[in-house]
């Protein structure tokens, strides 16, 4: 008899073609207990695919039957059909749907096996065994969540998750066939993008268990799902909220940006394989059309258009960021509209219509060696007085030195240096006061009386890699006191 049943089931799995709309497919079948052959009610049946059908769902009726009517299929399409029910192992089958087909697909679910004591049975409970039929429901306990994070629908990823709960009385016993309970499900907080819980009402099975599914909408965010029971005595019993993260959709051109910690970098004609990641990196920020982070793992391609070495691609993290490193490779960029030393890095991804989205950022490679030029040829600090000294610092091509470069000024004994005596440069493309132009004040602080003496000040420029350039200006300092 079992052999005959198996043959029947195999026959039912065959795909049969019947006349229908040219671009529509119907999928139907039953969900039943593998051992008894009894139809299973309220089983969730979900379609997964790379197209618009992804996340389409239904549930089995009281006989275990389910049906998907008039699915839009215009070409051969691979579909995964998943059936799940609390207390049973989830089963997934794959079919190839062709336009105009009627597909018969049956699921025989196998009961879950669990070596641990079932909640409320008293197994393994020592002297705390409670016998007899369960009383009124007192607690709703979460047993399992199939996916703790899902994707916005129609993005090609998993867009649904299944929850299993067990209902127990005050003694910890699971409700049984003699005391079924109706359990309700609701979303108590979410992004309001069309996400839904299906089914919203389920009756406990023989083991006091229920199952429902959450399906994502078109917005990212965190969803809080709650199971609750309205008891006959007017009291409401609720579960702890279950949190599920819905990740974003496809990239949007309005929410795709690229940046870098510094745009002026030490690298002109310089090979720097140890370039630090916190400086030499390109970061893309990728959001969907709602401004939410795109789904994790979205690919972004990078390319350096005329200089340097940049890693080719990266995938987004949970917050929608994708980053790569780039390295000075000895190049001396030229031909850029901004001038010598400038070059572009481009980031690229695609939107939901497979259109290219590009963003370009302009960078500047500056030299390791600085040009330090004093405005005057010397200085003269009078006794008890001061003198101002101006100087400029640029790279060999006339640009501000790389971001993070330090400029320090030291002097011989008896002279105090104030003004731009200790400077750390920011990220600049063009020069100016405090960027390439600096002024220091030299003051006499020696209280000893003697003749005028020769003195000097030294400017030291240190790049982020540690390379130093120095220049010294000589002058005089009077030590005679009144």
pLDDT at 244: 92
Give the pLDDT confidence score for residue 133 in this predicted structure.
58
pLDDT digits (tens, 9 = 90+) for 248-259: 778 999 999 999
Whether 147 and 244 have beta carbons less than 8 Å apart is answered as yes
Mean pLDDT of 182-193: 93
State the pLDDT at residue 380.
94
DSSP state of 325: E
Residues with Cβ within 8 Å of 278's Cβ and at least 6 positions away in sequence, in order, are 261
Q: How far apart are CA 219 and CA 378, in angstroms?
A: 68
pLDDT for res 480: 57
Name the DSSP class of 253.
G
CATH number of the domain at 135-247, please? 2.60.40.10
Q: What is the pLDDT of residue 429?
A: 97
Least confident interval from 2-11, 192-201, 213-222, 293-302 = 2-11
Closest to 151 (Cα-Cα) out of 223, 221, 248: 248
- Residue 420 pLDDT more than 80? yes
**Average pLDDT of the chain, as a whole number:** 86
**Closest listed residue to residue 154, CA positions, set 117, 125, 193:** 193
pLDDT at 24: 83
Q: Is the pLDDT of residue 229 over 90?
A: yes
Q: Which of 270, 276, 279, 273 is nearest to 366 (CA)?
A: 270
Residue with tokens 């018969």: 104
CATH class of 253-366: mainly beta
Report pLDDT for 140. 94
**What's the CATH code, domain 1-112?**
2.60.40.1120
Above 70 in pLDDT, residue 402?
yes
Give whichever of 115-129, 206-220, 257-271 has the largest mean pLDDT.
257-271
Q: Is the pLDDT of residue 392 over 80?
A: yes
Q: Is residue 194 a contact partner of residue 220, using CB atoms and an 8 Å limit?
A: no
Q: pLDDT confidence of 6, banded at 50, 70, 90?
A: very low
DSSP of 87-142: TB--EEEEEEE-TTEEEE--EEEPBP---SPPTTS-TT-GGG---S---SEEEEEE
Q: Please report the pLDDT score of residue 339 as a whole number.
A: 95
Rounded distance between C-alpha atoms, residue 482 and residue 479, angstroms: 10
Confidence of residue 170 (pLDDT cuts 50, 70, 90): confident
> What whole-number distance in Å separates Cα of residue 174 and Cα of residue 445?
89
| Tens-place pLDDT, residues 241-281 | 999 988 877 899 999 999 999 999 999 999 988 888 888 99
pLDDT of residue 125: 40
State the pLDDT confidence band at 415, using cuts at 50, 70 and 90: very high
Least confident of 75-79, 284-288, 355-359, 458-462: 75-79
Average pLDDT over residues 54-77: 85
Residue 1 reports pLDDT greater than 50: no
Residue 8, phi then psi, degrees to nearest 5: -60, -45
Q: Read off the pLDDT of each residue in 409-438 and give the average, rounded to a whole number.
A: 96
User: For residue 272, what are its two tokens?
Assistant: 């720097």
pLDDT category of residue 21 using cuts at 50, 70 and 90:
very low
Query: For residue 147, how many other CB atoms are within 10 A of its CB?
Result: 17
Q: How many H-runs (helices) and E-runs (strands) does the chain carry?
A: 1, 37
- How many Å is the Cα radius of gyration of the chain? 36
Whether the pLDDT of residue 121 is over 90: the answer is: no
Question: Does CATH place domain 370-477 in 1.20.1250.20?
Answer: no
Of 84-93, 117-126, 352-361, minimum mean pLDDT range: 117-126
Map 278-320 to HEC letters.
CCCEEEEEEECCCCCECCCCCEEEEEECCCCEECCEEECCCCC
Q: Residue holding tokens 């008896």? A: 414
- For residue 17, is pLDDT > 60? no
Share of the chain above pLDDT 70, in %: 89
Long-range contacts of 234-240 (CB under 8 A, 24+ apart): 237/137, 237/138, 237/139, 237/140, 238/140, 239/140, 239/141, 239/142, 239/165, 240/142
CA 174 – CA 179 distance, rounded (Å): 10
- Residue 5: per-residue pLDDT: 40
Domain ranges of the chain: 1-112, 135-247, 253-366, 370-477
Q: Average pLDDT of 462-480?
A: 91
Q: What is the pLDDT of residue 126?
A: 38
Same fold? 253-366, 370-477: yes
Contacts with 88 (C-beta within 8 Å, 6 or more apart), sequence order? 33, 40, 43, 109, 110, 111, 112
């Amino acid at each position: 008899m079992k052999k005959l049943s198996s043959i029947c089931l195999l026959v039912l799995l065959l795909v049969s073609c019947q006349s229908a709309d040219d671009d529509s497919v119907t999928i139907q079948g039953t969900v039943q207990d593998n051992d008894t052959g009894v139809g299973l009610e309220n089983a969730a049946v979900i379609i997964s695919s790379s197209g618009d059908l992804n996340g389409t769902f239904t549930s089995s009726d009281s006989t275990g039957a389910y049906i998907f009517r008039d699915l839009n299929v215009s070409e051969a399409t691979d579909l995964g059909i998943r059936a799940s029910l609390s207390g049973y192992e989830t089963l997934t089958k794959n079919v190839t749907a062709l336009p105009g087909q009627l597909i018969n697909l049956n699921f025989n679910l196998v009961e879950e096996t669990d070596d641990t004591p079932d909640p409320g049975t008293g197994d393994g409970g020592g002297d705390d065994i409670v016998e007899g039929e369960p009383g009124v429901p007192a607690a709703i306990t979460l047993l399992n969540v199939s996916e703790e994070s899902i994707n916005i629908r129609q993005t090609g990823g998993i867009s649904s998750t299944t929850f299993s709960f067990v209902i127990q009385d005050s003694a910890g016993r699971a409700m049984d066939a003699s005391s079924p309970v109706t359990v309700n499900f609701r979303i108590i907080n979410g992004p309001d993008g069309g996400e839904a819980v299906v089914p919203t009402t389920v009756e406990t099975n023989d083991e006091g268990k229920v199952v429902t599914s959450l399906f994502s909408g078109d917005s990212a965010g965190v969803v809080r799902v709650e199971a609750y029971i309205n008891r006959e005595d007017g009291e409401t019993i609720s579960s702890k909220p279950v949190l599920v993260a819905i990740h974003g959709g496809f990239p949007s051109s309005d929410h795709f940006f690229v940046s870098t910690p510094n745009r002026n970098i030490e690298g002109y004609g310089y090979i720097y394989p140890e370039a630090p990641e916190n400086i030499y990196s390109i970061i893309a920020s990728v959001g969907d059309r709602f401004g939410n982070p795109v789904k994790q793992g979205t690919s972004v391609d990078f390319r350096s258009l005329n200089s340097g070495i940049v890693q080719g691609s990266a995938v987004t993290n949970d917050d929608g960021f994708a980053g790569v490193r780039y390295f000075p490779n000895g190049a001396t960029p030229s031909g850029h509209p901004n001038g010598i030393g400038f070059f572009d890095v481009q980031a690229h991804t695609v939107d939901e219509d497979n259109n290219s989205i590009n963003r370009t950022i302009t960078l500047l490679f500056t030299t390791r060696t600085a040009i330090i030029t004093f405005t005057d040829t010397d200085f003269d600090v009078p006794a008890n007085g001061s003198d101002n000294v101006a100087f400029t610092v640029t790279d060999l091509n006339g640009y501000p030195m790389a971001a993070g470069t330090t400029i320090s000024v030291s002097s011989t004994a008896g002279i105090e240096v104030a003004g731009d005596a200790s400077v750390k440069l920011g990220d600049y493309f063009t020069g100016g006061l405090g960027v390439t132009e600096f002024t220091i004040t030299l003051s006499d602080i020696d209280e000893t009386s003697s003749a005028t003496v020769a003195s000097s000040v030294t400017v030291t420029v240190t790049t982020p890699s540690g390379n130093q350039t120095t220049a010294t200006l000589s002058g005089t300092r009077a030590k005679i006191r009144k």
